[in-house]
Amino acid sequence: MRKLIAMIVVTMLVALSIPAGATNDPEQRLGEIEKQIADLNKKISAQKGERTAIQNELASAEDSLAAVRIELDLAEARVRDVEATIAGEQAHLAKVQAELADLELQLTDTRLSIRDTHDLIRDRAVEMYMGGVPDLGVVVFGAGDMTTAALGVSYAQDVVSSSEVLMNDLQGLQSLEARQKAGVEDRKAAVQATLAELDRRQAELEADRVEVDIRKSEAEAEMDRQQKLLDQVTHDIGSIEGELTALERESKKMEAEIAARQRASGERPSTLGWPVDGRVTSPFGWRIHPIFGTKKLHTGIDISSAYGTPIRSAGYGTVILAQTYGGYGKATVVDHGGGLSTLYAHQSKIIVKEGQDVKLGEVIGYVGCTGYCTGPHLHFETREDGTPVDPMKYLP
């Protein structure tokens, strides 16, 4: 694209560097202008094609950015959901930790009770070891009376029973301690596992969000790049079209000068002869240009004819142009007097010279396909005072 822009700038500089009065020959200057106009039209067509391609790429980039923005919104929503869940789990963990503190106090009490029970059992064991367990027979028969015997038996039974109770209490407290401790540890482990999983998910989602942010930045950068290209191409098209307008004004000026010369040259003929035999494949008038694809005035008629077919002068006159003539390719213009001239374009070979007088039917060149042409044919024009008119007006 930079090469294309450079070519356009060079073309414009060349065009601007040629003043209107660079040549005293208006026909030659008109040929130069027509060539420049044709070149600029071709470059405008290329630039418009480039602009269309950039516009398509810009639309694609906008679609990509819209999709990335949707992905980013979804990723951020997922992160917020996980963060809310983590906050809930953390609040639940704080509650569990408070409950654990209470349970630990209870465990402390339980452990104190266990210690006290241990002490009682130890003391009772020492007492029983030192004093022995009372024998019921000795207690009964050694007593002085029945009341004393009954009290002794009751005491002996209480000693044995209280020892069993203490052992049972100790076992119960130890079992309670184990259950409480296991339950608390299980709950703590479950909550910690949940928090670890949520942290992992949050890290993954954050990574996704970072990736989407990067893609968003890349898409926005691509859109900016495409927009700058589009602005540059649009600016270039405007510049070329401005130069084209200036050249078209100069072309009209040259046509007016040619017309003035022709008006002074004699009487205008009323009829002309056919320059080649063949059918008209494209008439005079507005049409879509077969090369540029734009709507333009077809300033003459196209007559089908084989390559190398002799081209005849349509009437008596003087050759005022015989050269390569812009999009016309190799072309000849004959002045017939009275402001009427004929043009023969796309020739393969010109065999007359400027200033040469020609007769009606005299061969002046051969059919070809030079200039802007899609196949061998003769483009034939008639101009009145430099303005193109329908050649059929003069042909029999």
Please return the burial class of 275, using the count of CB atoms within 10 Å of its CB with bins 0-12, 13-18 and 19+: buried
**The pLDDT of residue 352 is above 80:** yes
Could you please state the CATH topology (level 3) that the domain comprising 280-393 is classified under. Answer: Glucose Permease (Domain IIA) (2.70.70)
Start-end of H helices in 264-349: none
**The pLDDT of residue 368 is above 70:** yes
pLDDT one-digit tens code per residue, 201-231: 778 777 877 877 787 788 788 778 878 877 8
**pLDDT confidence tier of residue 22, bands split at 50, 70 and 90:** very low
**CA separation, residue 183 to residues 327, 329, 374 (Å):** 96, 100, 93
Beta bridge mates, 311: 365
Q: Residues 278-289: what's their mean pLDDT?
A: 88
Of 64-68, 156-160, 284-288, least confident by mean pLDDT is: 156-160
Which is more confident, 76 or 138?
76
Question: Which residues have C-beta within 8 Å of that of residue 54, sequence separation ≥ 6?
Answer: 226, 229, 230, 233
**pLDDT confidence tier of residue 143, bands split at 50, 70 and 90:** very low
Mean of per-residue pLDDT scores for the chain? 77
> Token pair 């479950």 is at which residue?
190
Could you please state the CATH topology (level 3) that the domain comprising 1-264 is classified under. Answer: Helix Hairpins (1.10.287)
Beta strand residue intervals within the chain, DSSP E: 280-282, 285-288, 295-298, 301-304, 310-312, 317-324, 330-337, 340-350, 357-358, 363-367, 377-384, 387-389
Per-residue buried b or exposed e for 50-76, using 16+ beta carbons within 10 Å of the residue's own CB: bbeebeebbeebeebbeebeebbeebe
Q: At what angle do helices 146-263 and 2-17 cross, to 10 degrees?
A: 30
Q: Residues 139-146: what's their mean pLDDT?
A: 48
Q: How far is CA 110 from the centre of its chain?
A: 72
Pair 51, 230: CB distance under 8 Å: yes
Beta bridge mates, 122: none
Highest mean pLDDT out of 31-45, 191-205, 332-346: 332-346
* pLDDT score at 125: 61
**pLDDT confidence tier of residue 27, bands split at 50, 70 and 90:** low
Of the candidates 346, 337, 359, the residue with the CA atom closest to the CA atom of residue 273:
359
What's the angle, vertex CA 389, arms to CA 384 and CA 392, rounded to 5? Answer: 115
**Where in the chain are the domains?**
1-264, 280-393
**The pLDDT of residue 314 is above 70:** yes
Pair 284, 387: CB distance under 8 Å: no
